[in-house]
Structure 1
Amino acid sequence: MTARPLPASDPAAQGVDASGVHAFLDALEAAPGIEPHSLMILRHGHLVASGWWAPYTAPRPHLLYSLSKSFTATAAALAEGEGLIDFDAPVVSYFPEFEADITDPRSRAILVRHVASMASGHESETIDAAYGTDRAEPVRGFLLQPPERDPGTVFAYNQPCTYTLGAIVQRVTGQTLTGYLRPRLFDPLGIGETVWQRDRTGREIGFSGLHAATDAVARLGLLYLNDGVWQGERLLPEGWVARASRPHIATGGAMGEGDRQDWDRGYGHQFWISRHGFRGDGAYGQFCLVLPEHDAVIAVTTATERMQEYLDLVWRHLLPAFRPAPLTGRRSEDAALRERLDRLALPP
C-alpha cells in the first residue's frame, strides 16, 4: 500500500523556531561518536522538519532494535481491548502445557502486567538462560528461571519479558505480531512495508527485530501523543496510553553507572519515562520521543552508543525551539532549514 504523507507545514507556522533545529543539527555534526541516520519532527500534528543522511532514505526500513518493544506492547493493548488478554492473569495460564514444569511460586506469580513492565522479579537479564534452557520454547526456558525477588518489586531490562508478552499475543490471536497489527495499526496509520525477525519457533521475537521506516516511528508516536486516536478514530483502547506511559516500576541505577538521567525515571509498558515526556527506544539511538507538554513527536534513527548524549542535545536545542504560538516573518529561515535537510541526502 502507498501511505498518505503526513500533513506538512513550515516550522514557524507550528511555533517551531528553525534556528533551534539548525543548532541541533550543528551539535549533531560536532558530536563525536554520533552518526545520525534520520530525523522527523512533528508539532501540532504536522511534519515540520525531516531529513535522512546519505545513504539512508525515507522509504528504507531501519532495524529498530528495542524500539520494537513499543510495537509489541501496542499489540498487547489491542488484544486486551478485544478481550483476548488479561493483564492481571498469570503468564503461565496462557501456556497450560508448561503448568507441570513451572513449580517455582515466583515464576507462577508472574502476571502479564509484570512482563509488560519488565518487573518479572528477576534481577538481571535472562535471555541467554532462557534460550539455553529451552531453545525450542524460550517462554518455557524463561519461566524455568526462578525470579530472585517477588514479581512487581524490582526492574530488570530483561528481553524474555517482552518476548513472552509477544508470544502471548501470537498465541491468543493465532497470528504473528505483524499479521495481527497490519489491519489494526499499520494500515490505519498508513505504515508501509515492515519486516520482523523470527526465531526457530516461527514467532516474531517482539523484543527486537522489527524493520520499519522512520515514518512508521513518527506515526506511532503521533498516535500515542493523541491518546490512541488517529484522524478522529480511536485505535487504541481508552486509557491505554496513560497506562503505558506512566512508571510502573522504579529504574534508578538499573541501567548502569554514569549519566543515565533518561533511564532513571521509571518504566511503563514497554515505554521509558523521560525527563520530558516518554519514549520508545532501541539500541544505538532509535528513538520515538513523545512530548505531550509540547504537542510534539521526534522520530530518530541513529548509530551511536552515546544515547544519553543524543537525548541531551534534543533537550538542549530542540525543546527551546518549540514556542507557544506561531512565529511570523520566518519564511527565509524555514526555507534555509528545508534546503539544509534536503542536502543531507546527497552523497558526500
Structure 2
Amino acid sequence: MKNKLTLFLLIFCLLVSTTVGAQIREFERSTPEAEGVPSGALIALMDSLMALPKTDIHSVMVLRHGKVIAEMYPEPFAPEYRHTMFSCSKTFVGAAIGLAISENRLRLTDRIASFFPDQLPDSISPNLAAMTVRNLLNMTSGVTPDWKMREGRTDWVRGYLGKEIKTPGEHFDYDSMSSYILSAIVQKVTGMKLLDYLRLKLFDPMHITDVSWEVSPEGVNTGGWGVYLQSESLAKLGQLLLNRGMWEGKQLLPADWVDLMMAKQSDTGSFGYGYGYHMWLCEYPGAVRVDGALGQYALIIPDKDMVVVITECSIIDGITQRRLVWNRLLPAVGDEPLTPGKDYKRLLKKQSSYQLPVAQGKANSPLARQYANKPIMLKPNKLGWQSLRLQFKPKEVIMTVTQADGLEYNLPFGYKQWEKTSIDAYPPYSIEAKGRFTGIEGPFYVAGSYAWPSTTTLELKAHYVNWISALNLIFRFDGGDVHLAVKANYSSDFIYLCGQ
C-alpha cells in the first residue's frame, strides 16, 4: 500500500510539473535535416550572431513546420529564464485588439476620444475627435512621439490626449504610447487588464503561464513595452501568427485579423519596409516580425514555414542580425528531407557550448588584500547604489552592494566561469518610466565573472540573466584611491561612480 501511494504521488508530481509549471520544451523537437534544413547553415547563423560586435546573444530558436530544429542559450543564459521583450509587447496588443473586435467590443473605426470622456482636454480639436483605433494600430495617430512623457507624469492617458495632434492617418510616427492607449481601451471594453484578457483568450490555451506585464501608474498594462516571458513563449506567438491564428486545431485568433496584422497598413518611408497592425514588414519578401528594442525578434517567414526567435542586448543596427537569417540560413532551406551527417553532430555540440565572454586577466593581485572589505562610496547614480565592498577569495570575488534605500546584497563573480545568484533588488533598465517594474515579480538572477587585467585593475562582468541588462565594472586602484567606471550593455558610454 505504501509503495502504491508513493508511486501515485510521484506520478501526480510529474503530471503537475508537466502541465502547470512547464514552459519550455513544449514544441516538438526534430533534426534540421528531417525538416529540409542542413545543420551547417544553422551553425553558420549561430556562429555569425555570436561574433557580432557590441552584442550579447541571449537566445536563438529556429522552428520549421512547427518543430524546433535548433536552439541555443549561451552561458550564463538558459531556456527557463524569462526576458523583458520591449516592443514585442506591441504585437500582443495587436492580437488583443483583434480579439476584442471579433467579440464586438469595439471597431477599427471607433473614435479614441469616446473611450476617455473624463480625460479629454478642455478643448477637443477636430484631429483629436477624428483619431480612431486603426490610427493607433498602424501608428498614424497624428501625435508627435514624446518618449519622455512617461518619465515625467503619471496620468499618461490625459497627457497623450492633451498633445497637439496633426491630421490622423497621414503620417507614420512609431510611438509606444499609442500602444498604451490601446491597452487602456482593451481594459475599458473588457473590464480586465490586457494581460488578464490575453490569459483568458490566448495564453492559457497556448500554455503560456509564466508571463508578466508591467503596469502603469494608472493601473493599465503598459502596452508598448513590458511583456516579460520566455523565448519559447515568444516563439509560440510567432507560430500562432504563422498558422493564421490556429493553435492545436483551435482558431484562437481570427485568421482574417492575422492577415491584417501582417499586411502593410502604413508606409514607413525610409524607416523600414512598411508596418502592419503592430507588426513590421521585412526586407525578405513576405516575412514579418515581432520587434523589440535592443534586438528582440520573432521572425515569421511564411514561404519557408519558419519562425526564428532571437533575444539579445545589442546596440548595433538590427538589420545586421536579420540579414544573417536571410543570407546564411534561408538560402539553404529546402523542401525535401536530408540525411544528418557530421554537421548535425557539430550542431548538437556547439549549440550547448556557446558562452558569452568572461572577464580576461589573472585570478589575483597583490593589491587585493589592501582593499578588501573597505567601503567604496559612490556618487548618486541611476543604479541606486550607495556603496560597495569587495571580498577576495580563491578564484572568486564577492561584491556587496548597499543601495540608497538601505537594501544590501552580495554579487559573486567567478574566475573564468559564470557564478550565479539571486537578488531581491531590481536590475538595471534602459526604460525610466514612472512606476517601472510594477507588475514584474522577482527574484532576479545575476551571473558574474571577474579577472585582473593588470595588477591595479579589476574587471567585473554581471549579467542579469532573467532580464536583459549586463554591467561591466572597471575598478582602478591607485595609492589608496579607488576609481570605478561602469557601463551598461544597453549604452555605449562608461559612467564614473567614484574617482575621475
State the TM-score, normalized to the length of structure 2: 0.64
- Whole-Å separation in 2 of the counterparts to 1:227 and 1:55: 35
Aligned to 1:311: 322
Shift of 1:315: 1.3
Which residue does 1:258 correspond to in 2?
none
Letter in 1 for 2:110: A
Q: What is the alpha-carbon distance in structure 2 between the residues aligned to residue 102 and residue 272 of structure 1?
A: 35
Please state if 1:202 is matched with 2:219: yes
Q: Check the 8 A contact 2:244/2:254 in 1, yes or no.
A: no
Q: Which amino acid aligns with 2:292?
A: G
Instruction: Kindly indicate whether structure 1 or structure 2 has the higher relative contact order, using CA contacts under 8 Å at least 6 residues apart.
Output: 1
Partners in 2 of 1:212 and 1:331 — Cα distance?
35
Counterpart Cα distance in 2 of 1:99 and 1:55 = 48
Question: Between Structure 1 and Structure 2, whose CA radius of gyration is higher?
Answer: 2
Deviation per CA, 1:16-56, whole angstroms, max 9, x where unpaired? 11111111122123221221100110001111011101111
Q: Describe the superposition over 1:39-95 as per-residue Cα deviations: whole angstroms up to 9, x where unpaired.
A: 110001111011101111111110101111111111111111111121111011111
- Could you tell me how far 1:183 is from its partner in structure 2? 2.1
1:128 aligned partner, one-letter code: K
| Contact 1:163 1:205 (8 Å CA) reproduced | yes
Distance 2:159 2:100 in 1: 24
- Where does residue 125 of structure 1 map in the other structure? 145
1:322 partner amino acid: V
> Contact 1:131 / 1:141 at 8 angstroms: preserved in 2?
no
In structure 1, the partner of 2:164 is: 146
Q: Is 1:279 aligned with 2:289? A: yes
How many residues get paired?
334
Q: Give the 5 Å matches for 1:168-179.
A: 168-179=185-196
Which aligned pairs between 1:73-222 and structure 2 lie closer than 5 A? 73-98=94-119, 101=122, 103-122=124-143, 124-129=144-149, 132=152, 135-148=153-166, 150-222=167-239
Partners of 2:27 and 2:67 within 8 A in 1? yes
Q: Given that residues 130 and 139 in structure 1 are in contact (C-alpha distance below 8 angstroms), is that contact kept between their aligned partners in structure 2?
A: no
* CA 63–99 in structure 1, closer or farther in 2 if over 3 Å, else same: closer
Moved more, 293-302 or 310-319: 310-319
- The answer for the alignment partner of 1:344 in structure 2 is 354
Structure 2 unaligned residues grouped into runs of 5+: 1-19, 357-416, 419-500
TM alignment of 1:248-259, pairs within 5 A: 248-254=265-271
Q: Give the secondary structure class of the aligned counterpart of 1:188.
A: coil
Once structures 1 and 2 are overlaid, which stretch shifts more, 190-199 or 161-170?
190-199
- Residue 270 (1) aligns with residue 278 (2): yes
Q: Are 2:149 and 2:156, in contact at CA under 8 Å, matched by a contact in 1?
A: no
Cα deviation, residue 238, structure 1: 2.9
Report the counterpart of residue 38 of structure 1 in structure 2.
59
* Structure 2 partner of 1:261: none
CA contact (8 A) 2:120 2:161 kept: no
In structure 2, how many angstroms separate the alpha carbons of the residues matched to 1:131 and 1:35? 27
Deviation track 1:287-324 (CA, whole Å, cap 9, x = no partner) reads 01000011000011011022111112111111123212
Structure 1 distance, partners of 2:46, 2:121, is 57
Report the secondary structure of 1:281's partner residue.
Answer: strand
For residues 213-252 of structure 1, the C-alpha deviation after alignment (integer angstroms, 9 at most, x for no partner) is 0001100000000000011100002301110011111112
Residue matched to 1:233 = 250
The whole-number CA distance in structure 2 between the counterparts of 1:29 and 1:181 is 34
Deviation at 1:345, TM superposition (A): 6.3
Kept in 1: contact 2:96–2:186 (CA 8 A): yes
Alpha-carbon distance between aligned partners in 1 of 2:75 and 2:123, rounded to the nearest angstrom: 50
The structure with the greater share of residues assigned to helix is: 1
5+ residue gaps, structure 1, are: 255-263
TM-score, normalisation: structure 1: 0.91
Give 3-state SS (helix, strand or coil) of 1:319's partner.
Answer: helix
Alignment partners' CA distance in 2, 1:271 and 1:41: 19
Q: Secondary structure at the match of 2:300?
A: strand
Contact 1:61 1:211 in 2 (8 A): yes
Contact 2:139–2:174 (8 Å) recurs in 1: yes
Output the amino acid matched with 2:201: R
Match of 1:54 in 2: 75
1:174-211 per-residue CA deviation (whole Å, 9 max, x = no partner) reads 11122111121111112131111111111110100111
Higher strand share: 2
Q: Which runs of 4+ in 1 moved over 6 A?
A: none
* Candidates 345, 361, 369, aligned match of 1:335: 345
- Between the aligned partners of 1:16 and 1:36, the Cα distance in structure 2 is 22
Assess if the C-alpha contact under 8 Å between 2:100 and 2:106 holds in 1.
yes
Q: Is the 8 A contact 1:126 1:159 kept in 2?
A: no
Q: Which amino acid aligns with 1:242?
A: D
